[in-house]
Structure 1
């Protein structure tokens, strides 16, 4: 049986998307709309088997309160462009794009016709209640129309890039064999931006961030159509999908053997880096990174970032400062994402170094991203943090864990060291909410650990 390995860029974007979703309520805002109407399609995008339309990414950023021109949106655009490029290059990618563009064009025409119809009915109505209902429906259909138009433009651009790439391969046969292995360009063209009306319904009578849209038996519209089949062909689902934070983070050779690490792996015995040497190493690394970025050699640039994680952890704060000074903050975010999949002992070492260097926000981000890994590994990371007297960071790790993982997962984590972890997890759950502490206590009782 052939097993399809997701491209690195697709995995990177799916991981970023999962991290963003962990900040959102799955029953409110745009996230609630998408999760209620098409949980299977949304899950496929979180798994990396499909690419979420860019207008949906913008809506989720809006839910999170992130500005459209902010650093997180810029980071999203970079990851999205690389993931879309890698996804489109798969066998049959061009045909799938063309088919989906046809679907979106039909959806755009339907929305346009429906908007005209509703507009005529609104002008003819005299009742206030009916007018309000029509205005609300018109706002949603205009949102469908804007999203469909944006997706047609985005899919057209992606198809054009694929055709240009194929033409380049045909024009250079000697390089054709290496095409499938070519890394995605570091500065991939930005995805098509949805019009402002795609961010919220156009009518003032409809909420900018929908909290509770009435369910319909057969949803249709560009908000829900990111898979190949049309909205009418889907079976409506009632349940909101589980918040996508429970899966293990990507692991493998490029993560330093994170998948094979023992939960009890000790922190690496690495001598502290000389400050002057750390600054010189950071400057050299950033210079090399800039050269690689300028030459669109994104694969080698990514490898350089991963290599930095194999060196002395004490050098990382200097590298962070140098990256931000050079305007490469997105690369530092990538490095933190990679660090989240390090073996437990090294993860703890990196978190401790960042905390000691006063980079508490980076440390907390690293720990939040790390909670998606198996509970056995998290137990080892927590033990390593305590062993290095980084008790605040261990508490932050457990707090992030109980915030996004199921109480049953927390009970399994407690089973790795009941005497030590049960009180720590209860303390972390108490810091989140009374309800979370109550749910954890119930899970601990079921697991026979309540009296530990």
Structure 2
């Protein structure tokens, strides 16, 4: 598409990006890394032919903070985010956007898996290193592999959010019935004030669940035979679902309470932070601020990657200290790094943040952490259950079901369908009845349930 044919919002963001880069040393920092690793992609973004992922813009703003001052970047962040969101919305309004986004998500998911595998391989090699020089080289490679995984994870989440937005825009209104005069009920204004329980289906209508028939990665419904059942994997039996009575309470998510008939769950107790822990947090924030002032972005990122693997109890302190120091963007990076933690430690980190009043951060780390291969989620849940950590398993599955299309969520049952399918269905039912039925259909299409 010629530049003059681009949507106005895309052109506006391309101009903004050009102005931002003009203020940076384009051979240094993250800007230099992007030019070195993907010069064609950078030119496409500056020409308006592509809109860069937000993590790229955020990294450029970090370069701006290092070159001038954190306050300068902070003042730019709001404007950059608004222009970026508007450009993405304009891009997604073009014909063929949904298919392009779905294809890009498939590619990025493969990138994410490759980066995860590379991290694991480098970690094994680092553990077996026989010299300091070899270990230092491996640590550097591991730091870049973690950055690749962090960026792929963030881009998967961004692409899913864009596809979900298109799904919401395209979702038609559902007719509830006609009145005696022939006017469809959904077309008549309703004078009653609406409550949240009104976006939910009425339990006494006994309507059949909607079945999606579209194919593609964003839909639960696929043409019969589109997926082959995994070889040697026995399907689980999906139990019949009872229609709730008119007086039944709405189910709540496992992250907060589990099934409707269970008392609310609280995050697991968090060990208090010792004096040494508080000193470590203060020292890390001071070192990070110094590295940012000196423009030593690689070392700063390595420090954040290390801090992401600290005890969970330190994370709320890090969140508060980094934001107070004007390093909020670094806290976001640390959250992305922490998302690669093993399942149990991931939930512990989310619990610690939620218990300390950082609920949004706790939810975000779970969203990022569940953007990993489906089979890995399944294995993580099985490991938690084997350790008797049923609550943590439910938390992980709840976040996974909420953040993924039913077709993707269904694949997490592959490691052990008889054990995982019931857990998945419980998590889906806690989200909504529609989510539950979509997942039932996706499991059957995938050959994982009958």
TM-score class normalised by the smaller sequence: 0.3 to 0.5
> Scaled by the length of structure 2, what TM-score is found?
0.46
> Scaled by the length of structure 1, what TM-score is found?
0.46
